Structure 1
Amino acid sequence: MALIITDECINCDVCEPECPNGAISQGEEIYVIDPNSCTECVGHYDVPQCVEVCPVNCIVTDPDRIENREQLLAKYHALITGAERAPQE
């Protein structure tokens, strides 16, 4: 499951730095989560860190992106592998 940020977001800026995958960024009006990078912190933490710090509870499961723990872990490994294969400067 990827997470989404609802329109109840108050742009408090606390979620973005908590995401270990860099999946959260400022959108046109509110913060947004890239579903291709969101692993719900699987591989990093036991619970999604953005959900833990959100003061208005506006980060919820995306009903269009239902993934189980194994799928999230596979996505995490793919993200890590892709990062390791980045060209060296």
Structure 2
Amino acid sequence: MLSINLRTDIENSFRNVVQENYNGNWQNAIASFLKLQEKYGWKEQLLEDVTLIRAEVRRKGGISSATIDDVIKKYRNNQQGGSNG
């Protein structure tokens, strides 16, 4: 059996969600949480990665608009060339 220690307010909130949305079925509630994590958890990681990369770019002085435009053009040219070849 799973045992976790939650702050009282979080435990009460979770208990209410389980009662109201899962008819008190803790197993279904946890299974639903795990499905959501599997489906959307990668987005949280991506956001964290992008945030860290942005901070590093700012620390190093940023990127000019011209550089961004050049990279976009190169990417689009590669995409078009890859689909034609």
TM-score by length of structure 1 reads 0.31
Q: Counting helix residues as a fraction of each chain, which structure ranks higher?
A: 2
Q: Which has the higher contact order (CA 8 A, sep 6+)?
A: 1
Which structure has more strand as a fraction of its residues? 1
